[in-house]
A and B are shown apart, each in its own frame.
Chain A
Amino acid sequence: MNMSHTRPDDELLSAWLDGELDADALGQVQAWLQDHPEDAARVRAWAADRDALRVRLDASLDQPLPQAWVDRLSAAAAPAANEPHWWRRALVAGLMLASGLGGAWVQRHSAVDAVPMAAKAAPAAIEPWVQRAVAAHAVYVPEQNHAVEVSVQQGDAAQRQQQQQHLSQWLSKRLAMPVTLFNLRSEGFELVGGRLLPDTASPGAQLMYQRQDGQRVTVYVLRHEAPPKAANAPDVRIETVAGLAAMVWYEDGAGCALVGSLPRAQMSKLADVMYAQAEEAAEGQPVRQ
């Protein structure tokens, strides 16, 4: 019997939303939600409440801290008054000189002592959809038999071409926006296939690519307006979530994240290739597979 016929309880649905399920349970809940729009709507409402609360409360992080707290921590960080400063430095310098690293380190160390602590604003939170993109990557990349929902690697070249067309049309229809199947062959990555994933406002799509050596990267796209960004901020930005790198950008009302564990230079190169193809696609030129 198909497990997706058993209704997952609220705890499972809620844990699914937080990315706390193992691959088996996740697949079952996913299947259930695809077949049961009323439960999917309930989970979306929870996600919307969570995101709204996060946005609402993130504003409070910018309130300045009481000066007394900052002073307290600055005082705690400074060397104690009765501690012989010169003695500690001499000791450190002696140790460092012995290993040939001397002066520079001592200078830096002194500079640290002298700089008053700055109350920094917490870094801007990573968008929830990017976190879901990373979670989806972590869940599906280890899968051998069920890495994708729709494969584009069955049969001969003509059949594969057809499968790609089907995948692109299906995802474009479900996301209600054109979904570009990026061609990453120049970087040694072949498209394995894709899957549709529930996201908060509308579904997201994951495309999976694989290199000869088995290394995989995923691309997550969804309909999403670009958040405001600083004028000098780069178009493609890199985020690190749970040890994975995500190259994130927005284009024409869509959000796109390339997720992987490759060295940064390779991630950037892939993102460059994709960004160029997305721009071409936006201008109406099809990406040649």
Chain B
Amino acid sequence: MQAPPAFCQQLLDALPRVRRYARSLSYDASHADDLVQTVMERALSCWHQFDQQRNVLVWLLSIAHNAHLDHIRRDNRMSLLEPEHLSDLQDANATHGAHDPGLRMDLLAALDRLSAEHREVLLLVGVEQLSYAECAQVLQVPTGTVMSRLSRARTAMRAALDGHPKATAHTNPAIRRVV
């Protein structure tokens, strides 16, 4: 697959950020790296579809988001989980970090305890500094959804950092595509 050198350079420059986002989608580092490779191949094969007026990072992140959803759809383990079970699972995962509520919990541990939807918006808007409109493009949801999800994510993050293990349990929907 051939692509213009300037485009390949753009892609290379954006990869550290794409990798960071992929890692927020998946706890499994090797799956995250597979995801980045998928993004790279899709981008190379569709380079002519990329509009240079657009932000290349936003474009790549939306490819990553879709590739991840495709992966989940193929992977029965995720889609068979009912939302309540997912919450139970996350509670179980969360308890080991909650033994010392007096201590300010590590940021990344707190981030891990959030739902995937909450993690995504915190990362896209807070860390990658995308606008709500760009974030909505990546996630393929209305801008209003980004706004409400983000405010809930911030509250959940705060609760997690304050050491409330149950705080996010009831608002954790299973990963799904919202069109």
Measured CB to CB, the residues of A under 8 A from B are: 9-11, 13-15, 18, 20, 42, 45-46, 49-50, 52-54, 56-58, 60-63, 65-66, 69-70, 72-74, 76-80, 112-113, 117, 119-122, 125, 131
Interface of A (DSSP majority class) = helix
B side interface size, CB within 8 A = 43
Q: For A73, what are the chain B residues with a Cβ–Cβ distance below 8 Å? A: 8-9, 11-12, 40, 44
Q: A65 to B151, alpha carbons, bound, how many Å? A: 33
Known: A20-B131, A49-B154, A49-B161. A77 touches B4 (CB 8 A): yes
CB within 8 Å: A-B pair count: 111
Assess the A76–B3 pair: CB atoms within 8 A.
yes
- Of the candidates B15, B107, B154, which one forms a contact with A69 in the assembled complex, judged by CB atoms under 8 Å apart? B15
Assess the B147–A72 pair: CB atoms within 8 A.
no
Interface of B (DSSP majority class) = helix
Q: 5 additional contacts, CB 8 Å, given A73-B12, A73-B40?
A: A11-B148, A14-B147, A76-B3, A117-B9, A120-B12
Q: A58 to B108, alpha carbons, bound, how many Å? A: 13
**B61-69, B72-80, B119-127, B170-178 - the one binding chain A:** B119-127
Assess the A46–B131 pair: CB atoms within 8 A.
no
Assess the A57–B154 pair: CB atoms within 8 A.
no
Known: A65-B15, A79-B2. A53 touches B111 (CB 8 A): yes
In this complex, which of A76, A77, A119, A120 has the most chain B Cβ atoms within 10 angstroms of its Cβ?
A76
Assess the A14–B126 pair: CB atoms within 8 A.
no
B179 within 8 A of A: no
Chain B residue nearest in CB terms to A121: B16
Q: For B2, what are the chain A residues with a Cβ–Cβ distance below 8 Å? A: 76-80
Q: For B126, what are the chain A residues with a Cβ–Cβ distance below 8 Å? A: 50, 53-54
Assess the A76–B8 pair: CB atoms within 8 A.
yes
Q: For B3, what are the chain A residues with a Cβ–Cβ distance below 8 Å? A: 76-77
Would you list which residues of chain B between 1 and 49 have a CB under 8 Å from chain A?
Answer: 1-5, 7-9, 11-13, 15-17, 19-20, 23, 33, 36-37, 40, 44
- Of the candidates A45, A77, A79, which one forms a contact with B158 in the assembled complex, judged by CB atoms under 8 Å apart? A45
- Of the candidates A46, A61, A117, A121, which one forms a contact with B154 in the assembled complex, judged by CB atoms under 8 Å apart? A46
Assess the B127–A57 pair: CB atoms within 8 A.
yes
In this complex, which of A49, A63, A74, A120 has the most chain B Cβ atoms within 10 angstroms of its Cβ?
A49
Measured CB to CB, the residues of B under 8 A from A are: 1-5, 7-9, 11-13, 15-17, 19-20, 23, 33, 36-37, 40, 44, 107-108, 111, 122-123, 125-127, 129, 131-132, 147-148, 150-152, 154-155, 157-158, 161
Q: A95 to B3, alpha carbons, bound, how many Å? A: 22
Q: A52 to B122, alpha carbons, bound, how many Å? A: 12
**How close is A196's CB to chain B, nearest CB, in angstroms?**
24
Q: A236 to B157, alpha carbons, bound, how many Å? A: 36
- Of the candidates B1, B20, B148, which one forms a contact with A57 in the assembled complex, judged by CB atoms under 8 Å apart? B20
Assess the B108–A70 pair: CB atoms within 8 A.
no
Assess the A113–B19 pair: CB atoms within 8 A.
no
Q: For B108, what are the chain A residues with a Cβ–Cβ distance below 8 Å? A: 56
Q: A15 to B147, alpha carbons, bound, how many Å? A: 7
**How close is B120's CB to chain A, nearest CB, in angstroms?**
13
Assess the B8–A18 pair: CB atoms within 8 A.
no
Assess the A61–B1 pair: CB atoms within 8 A.
no
Chain B residue nearest in CB terms to A126: B129
Assess the A77–B8 pair: CB atoms within 8 A.
yes
Chain B residue nearest in CB terms to A72: B40
Assess the A69–B37 pair: CB atoms within 8 A.
yes
Assess the A18–B16 pair: CB atoms within 8 A.
no
Assess the A70–B12 pair: CB atoms within 8 A.
yes
Assess the B16–A61 pair: CB atoms within 8 A.
yes
Assess the B147–A53 pair: CB atoms within 8 A.
no
Assess the B20–A60 pair: CB atoms within 8 A.
yes
Q: A11 to B36, alpha carbons, bound, how many Å? A: 32
Assess the B157–A49 pair: CB atoms within 8 A.
yes
Q: For B148, what are the chain A residues with a Cβ–Cβ distance below 8 Å? A: 11
Assess the B5–A77 pair: CB atoms within 8 A.
yes
Q: For A119, what are the chain B residues with a Cβ–Cβ distance below 8 Å? A: 12
- Of the candidates B16, B107, B127, which one forms a contact with A65 in the assembled complex, judged by CB atoms under 8 Å apart? B16
Assess the B12–A117 pair: CB atoms within 8 A.
yes
Q: A9 to B152, alpha carbons, bound, how many Å? A: 11
Q: A46 to B20, alpha carbons, bound, how many Å? A: 21
